[in-house]
Amino acid sequence: MKLLFIRHGEPDYVHDTLTEKGWREARLLAERIAPLDVKQYYVSPLGRAQDTARPTLERAGRTAVTLDWLREFTGRVRKPNLPGQDSIAWDWLPQDWTADERFFSDRAWTRNEIMAAGTAVTDYDAVIRQFDALLAAHGYQREGRLYRAVAPNHDTLVFFCHFALECVLLSRLINASPMVLWHGLCAAPSSVTTVATEERRPGAAYFRVLQFGDISHLYAHGEPPSFMARFRECASDPSVNET
């Protein structure tokens, strides 16, 4: 089975839709995704994901199932650099999160005191519980760190969602700390991440990332990638997306 995680196009966060560039990205994405043999499309309830999916669904003559847990990851914490106020759990300054070795473990990250005091851990557990249930409905039952291939198949599932949420799902599939993925990876708007099962022994499946954050559909048409989701490369650069 293949899973395609698609980050929404360049967002207009104020209006929860896409920028003019984001709409171009969504239309170019549709040329790539619509011809695929897709078993089921799933989409976040947020406008920017719904709008990204729309050109693909219209081109393919399909509909998508809206899943509330595919919305952007909502876990909140009170981080060291922002005392006294709640903020998103998935964006820390490097000097803060790398100082705690537990953040590099797929299990111990939940024991960080700041994470444990906020909503991130419970929100993470809620998302992966529903994700596991969806995979089970498609033939792959979670058992320990593997998936039992109850009904192995070559189906393709497409998820239109968000970067931080995508990292949560990937962390579950490959047994990695979401902190490492949130801070070590960057999926540009409209990018496609492809994950596939490998069943090297009958009945025991593992998910492997074949492509992460692919934006070849943009390059093929001369559309530059959006800078959104990235931060400045050098401290002397103009401030971009800083929190």
Distance, CA of 177 to CA of 106 (rounded, Å): 4
> Model confidence at 240, in pLDDT bands (50, 70, 90)?
low
Q: Please give the residue that has the higher pLDDT: either 60 or 236.
A: 60
Q: What is this structure's pTM?
A: 0.95
> Model confidence at 82, in pLDDT bands (50, 70, 90)?
low
Question: Residues near 55 by Cβ (< 8 Å), separated by ≥ 6?
Answer: 26, 27, 29, 30
Is residue 185 within 8 Å of 229, Cβ to Cβ? no
Structure tokens at 214: 């692919």
β-pairing verdict for 192-201 and 2-7: antiparallel
Cα angle at 175 between 173 and 180, to 5 degrees? 105
